[in-house]
Structures are given as structure tokens and as C-alpha cells.
Amino acid sequence: MYMGHYAIALGARRWLRPLPMAWLLFASIEPDLHDVLGSMIPGLGIGPDTHTLPGACVAAIAIAVITALAFHRAGLALGAGLLVLSHIAADYLTSRLPLWRHGPMVGLHLYATPWADFLLEAGTIAIGLTMYASSPDLRRPVRGGVAVIAVVMLTLQAIWNFGLGGG
């Protein structure tokens, strides 16, 4: 999954409003960033384990602990950890990934059918943004800002699905 991860973070903000948006977005894509940064910084690298259940659980615990230390709220820590776990749960829909290192490969691999993946991600974006827009702490009207976010996310998702030959 690509922009759907950010959509999940935007929707989850409804329950995690004290957390900075950048932290929510980061938590939602931690396994992907871990892949990239792990290739730059050897100490961070855990190889292909970033997208396995054990790897994601360790990352989720780490993010939850950091959140707890920084924000002193167990509920926020749990929410941030769940956002990390949502990453591989969503990726099992769009990709085929091992459950654990050398474990069985599971997943629907919707990337192989770009339209199906685009529709799933567009639906996730619509739900996530609708939940985000309903937050009571946003300045009204929110329509313009949310529309810009939607256009950016859908455009990048379309480029990912149809412009790069799929993921």
C-alpha cells in the first residue's frame, strides 16, 4: 500500500489528536522508511524483517515506547503502535509478504491489478479524509484544505499504480 498508509494515519488522528501529524504519518510508514534508512545507516538495518510480523511488532513497541516517553499517555502510545502494525496489515492486501523470515508468503498482491489497488487506496483515502475532516479542532471550513490533500494523494497514487508500472 502507498497513500493508503497516510490515509489510515489521517483517519486515526480522530483518536490521537495530541500527537503531531508528522509523528502519525511517520508511524504509518515506519516499515518502509526502515527499509530505506536501513540501507543508508547499517545500524538501523534489519534486512527484509521490516515487513514481517515479528519485525513490525518490534517496531510498533519501539514507536509506542517513544510515544509514551514523549507524551505520557498510554492510549496515545498504543495508538501509535497500532499505526505501525496497520502498515503490514494493509500491505498484506496489496503485496505478498512473508509472515516471518523464511515463513509462508501471504497477501492478495493487488499491485498486480493496478485498478484494484487504486480503487482500494482511493477508498481508504476517502474514508481517512472523511474521518480527519470530522475532527472538532479543525478550523472551518475544512473543505478546501482536505480537497488539496485528496488531490495530492490520489495523483501520487495514480502515478504509483499507472505511471511506474505498478509496485
Task: Tell me which residues touch other proteins (CB under 8 A).
Answer: 2-3, 6, 10, 21-22, 25, 29, 32-33, 35-36, 39-40, 137-139, 142, 145-146, 148-149, 152-153, 156, 160
Q: Which three cell numbers stand for residue 133?
A: 475532516
Judge whether 3 and 121 are in contact, CB under 8 Å: yes
Cα(38)–Cα(48) distance, integer angstroms: 10
Provide the grid cell at 19: 500527537
- Taking the alpha carbons of 59, 62, 67, 68 in that order, is the dihedral positive or negative? positive
How many Cβ atoms are within 10 Å of 160's Cβ, its own excluded?
20
Q: In terms of CB distance, is 22 or 69 closer to other proteins? A: 22
What are the residues whose beta carbons fall under 8 Å from the beta carbon of 128, sequence distance 6 or more? 4, 6, 7, 8, 9, 10, 11
Bin 166: left if φ > 0, else alpha if -120 < ψ < 50, else beta.
left
